[in-house]
Amino acid sequence: MSRFSFRRAAAVQAPEPAPALTVVEAAPTPAARTRSIDDELLDMRLRLHARLIEEIDLSKLGELDEGEMRRQVRRLVGDFAKDGRLALNTLELDQIGAEVFDEMVGLGPIEPLLKDESINDILINGPNQVYVERRGELELTPVRFRDNDHLLRIVNRIVAAVGRRIDESSPMVDARLADGSRVNAAIYPITIDGACVSIRKFSKKPLSFERLVGVGAMPACVSEFLQGAIKARVSTVISGGTGSGKTTLLNAMSAAISHGERLITIEDAAELQLQQPHVVRMETRPPNIEGKGEIRQRELVKNALRMRPDRVILGEVRGEEAFDMLQAMNTGHEGSMATIHANTPRDAITRLEQMVAMGGLKLTPESIRGQIASAVGMIVQVMRLSDGKRKVMSVSEITGMEGQVVQMQEIFAFHRIGTDAEGNVHGEFRATGLRPKCLDEMNRRGILYDTANFDPQRAL
């Protein structure tokens, strides 16, 4: 007898005979034949899933380990297929068993995509179209859902796990998976062709500076400079477009922070993977169904300053919390870090100025720029190139004010030379020849850096 607890004693009755999987239409095309078989396999999987839910006492699932659960589901699938006289081979039974298991306790059809470490993004455009991004290129997958209701069940399973909700009155949601992967979902009435889900996956092993150097995101000397600046408590903003690798770089840079410091992270959906032992993670909260109870980043930043942090790390600055972040950097929390959406370092300064103004404070543009110049020490610009690769494009230092303009000097830059026939972008990193002001602070803290790397005559 299975270790599963059944609601009905006695042998499981066979389900109604399912239609044979063999396509009988006259001379079908290979594509039509494949789609017909896929349709029937999908229908069968969902029928078996519904039947297993009826037969199995789900309260007993927690008593079994995953391997035992998979074996029991596989056995029951085999029994159902045999009783239903379904012509399936062992490989097909194993596949259906795994899919039924994923439907029961995982995220259904997309579970294999989540386990594929070569995939960076999963983009679901309704029940019949699922794209993934591998190595910067989009690919259409054969994965699909039975209908929009099937997709909505998976979406609700995701958002319910983190205490969020999604329905017609609140048709957009930001959430996260257990591994920290970022999820955004939108449903009717704001989407026309079914629910749309975007999942930004994060590696189980966060990218380190060594790995970023290895994949060509930056040269070793730039990596060493960034690590030295972090140890010297230079407040840093990472700027870039969507999907450019801002959070990945922030994770890598945070690894250089001393394990003796107290860190507080503030995010819309917790996804940072800091390696230090003393980390307090905070997350915003959307309003409830009555439109109350919302907790924004600004309130979290204010509260974080009362929690004795050594550094505050914001997943992304996108609104009026920018002023509180600048205040934190100016009042004893040097070395704090954040990301921001901007195309150039100068644009990042302009966006910070605009976001401070969003707070409704009666500050002149000159005073806002003064706050930025005294708070932010370095801006690191990242970009996703046309070949899909992410690179650090510029490392710039803010040196102060001159008149009404925030002064900034570029230390390192990536120069694009050209693109080959296969679409790969070629270029080289070079120093500008300017000696950064923060080098003095690095030297005072005993952080040695080879000044020969600032020679603009050689490629890095």
Over residues 424-455, the pLDDT tens digits come to: 889 999 999 999 999 999 999 999 999 999 99
Residues 310 and 357 in one domain: yes
Which range of 69-73, 157-161, 194-198 scores highest in mean pLDDT? It is 194-198
Look up the pTM and report it: 0.74
Residue 272 has pLDDT above 90, yes or no: no
Please identify, among 84, 105, 126, the residue that sits at the C-terminal boundary of a domain: 105
307 versus 292: the higher-pLDDT residue is 307
What is the pLDDT, as a whole number, of residue 442?
93
Token look-up 């035992």 returns: 68
pLDDT band for position 26 (cuts 50, 70, 90): very low
Residues 262 and 370 in one domain: yes
What is the pLDDT, as a whole number, of residue 37?
52
How many domains, the chain? 3
What is the pLDDT, as a whole number, of residue 1?
43
Please identify, among 152, 167, 200, the residue that sits at the C-terminal boundary of a domain: 200
The tens digit of pLDDT for each residue in 238-265 reads 999 988 889 889 989 988 999 999 999 9
What is the pLDDT, as a whole number, of residue 106?
76
- Above pLDDT 90, what percent of the chain? 37
Residue 10 has pLDDT above 50, yes or no: no
Token look-up 């494949």 returns: 34
What is the pLDDT, as a whole number, of residue 13?
45
Per-residue HEC secondary structure of the chain comes to CCCCCECCCCCCCCCCCCCCCCCCCCCCCHHHHHHHHHHHHHHHHHHHHHHHHHHECHHHHHHCCHHHHHHHHHHHHHHHHHHCCCCCCHHHHHHHHHHHHHHHHCCHHHHHHHHCCCEEEEEEECCCCEEEEECCEEEEECCCCCCHHHHHHHHHHHHHCCCCCCECCECEEEEECCCCCEEEEECCCCCCCCCEEEEECCCCCCCCHHHHHHCCCCCHHHHHHHHHHHHCCCCEEEEECCCCCHHHHHHHHHCCCCCCCCEEEEECCCCCCCCCCCEEEEECECCCCCCCCCECHHHHHHHHCCCCCCEEEECCCCCCHHHHHHHHHHCCCCCCEEEEECCCHHHHHHHHHHHHHCCCCCCCHHHHHHHHHHHCCEEEEEEECCCCCEEEEEEEEEEEEECCEEEEEEEEEEEEEEECCCCCEEEEEEECCCCCCHHHHHHHCCCCCCHHHHCCCCCC
Q: If you average pLDDT over residues 151-160, what whole number do you get? A: 89
Residue 110 has pLDDT above 60, yes or no: yes
What is the pLDDT, as a whole number, of residue 49?
60
- For residue 9, tell me if it sits in a domain: no
Domain of residue 175 covers 111-200
Residues 244 and 386 in one domain: yes
| Mean per-residue pLDDT of the chain | 82
Residue among 434, 412, 380 nearest 236 (CA): 380
What gap in Å lies between CA 182 and CA 87, rounded to an integer? 40
Residues 140 and 44 in one domain: no
What is the pLDDT, as a whole number, of residue 180?
77
Residues 87 and 190 in one domain: no
Residues 399 and 280 in one domain: yes
Please identify, among 200, 230, 251, the residue that sits at the C-terminal boundary of a domain: 200
- For residue 448, tell me if it sits in a domain: yes
Spell out the residues 6+ positions from residue 301 whose beta carbon is closer than 8 angstroms to its own. 266, 312, 314, 321, 324, 325, 328
What is the pLDDT, as a whole number, of residue 60?
56
Residues 98 and 120 in one domain: no
What is the pLDDT, as a whole number, of residue 23?
42
Spell out the residues 6+ positions from residue 160 whose beta carbon is closer than 8 angstroms to its own. none
